[in-house]
Structure 1
């Protein structure tokens, strides 16, 4: 029996944009993932109140479109969970035939150490970080990157990440998509 390689891509997605899709597609290709589950957050304790959850969920579904290997789930919302560590623990609890990887853009890695129980996230599953404009050097000098420097896989070994016991992570360089949710929200407020 082949073990499935599944990426979990959580975030506020407020709003979702081509940069998010770029992170997902880069990770899917380079890690040879079988599936990606997008997990829009009900809220984000580190950010101001996001747009309505179901508006963001539907927008992510529109962004992903009919991609045959990407699914958008409202798991965090209906499970009543708030923190990534709890979401990861609950989502993976009954999936023994899968190797999960947490996906994020390098901009998220910069403040990953501010997430509640971030170390437990790193101990539960490997992390794939995809480069984002203006985030590489700061992400690679973040508290997470320094603390887990010993657990970083070379980029050339990225496809091994789903089969590597945590803590483990890889930083993938990729052509940039400069789109950002912060800029899109600012532009919408001006309009």
Structure 2
């Protein structure tokens, strides 16, 4: 199969997945990131989200290039997608290249398109507490809170710092209690929840360092 044919098939499969979401009242978790590389921490958060938020699926949205991260050391998207598929290991976790398909760069632009096209689907944005710390640096971050419900999962040593960040303080009145996770999908944005969990210390940065040190991977 040529690269052009593979690209067409990939876009067809993605369009099919998007169509299914558009025609059903599912609750789908969205986890955006570079996935450079995907690791067990991503899967752990996804599986916790499926259980505690009552999700039908989690989409791993592999970004072509995160505007807040340097391009140096970034593997090409094909390799990152292949790695993410291998790491997902759960039929409810789907690896997607929506940003490439829709030609969007910023989360706010992507969410506007998704919420408009798939009004019957309930989306919940999933992220770690480390990302919450820099959430106010995202383009149109306040608009994002009006477009999608948000679930934050604790990362080691980030609880206090992240909960003192701009978003939690600005939208403190829209926070659900931890035991109300299954109710989040029924709330209109802005609505968010923070889960205190003893999550993995694994990070993509550490994995890349190990790969470089051990001389494996490329």
Instruction: State the Cα distance separating 1:77 from its structure 2 match.
Output: 1.2
Aligned partner of 2:167 in structure 1 is: 144
Instruction: State the Cα distance separating 1:167 from its structure 2 match.
Output: 0.6
TM-score, length of structure 1 as denominator length = 0.94
TM-score, length of structure 2 as denominator length = 0.83
Instruction: State the Cα distance separating 1:188 from its structure 2 match.
Output: 2.7
Q: Within 5 Å, which residues of 2 pair with 1:65-104?
A: 65=89, 67-104=90-127
Equivalent pair of 1:26/1:174 in contact (CA under 8 Å): no
SS in 2 for 1:14: coil
The count of corresponding residues between Structure 1 and Structure 2 is: 190
Aligned partner of 1:190 in structure 2 is: 213
Segments of 5+ residues of structure 2 without an aligned counterpart are 1-23
The answer as to 2:83 corresponding to 1:56 is no
The answer as to 2:189 corresponding to 1:166 is yes
Instruction: State the Cα distance separating 1:187 from its structure 2 match.
Output: 2.5
Cα deviation 1:65-100 (Å, max 9, x = unaligned): 3x2222111111122111011111223322122111
Aligned partner of 1:36 in structure 2 is: 58
Distance 1:91 1:157 in 2: 25
Instruction: Please say which structure displays the higher CA radius of gyration.
Output: 2
Distance 1:4 1:44 in 2: 27
Aligned partner of 2:152 in structure 1 is: 129
Cα deviation 1:131-181 (Å, max 9, x = unaligned): 111211111111111111111100011111111111110001222211001
Q: Considering only aligned residues, what root-mean-square deviation do their CA atoms show, in Å?
A: 1.5
SS in 2 for 1:77: helix
Q: Comparing both structures, which one devotes a greater share of its residues to helix?
A: 2
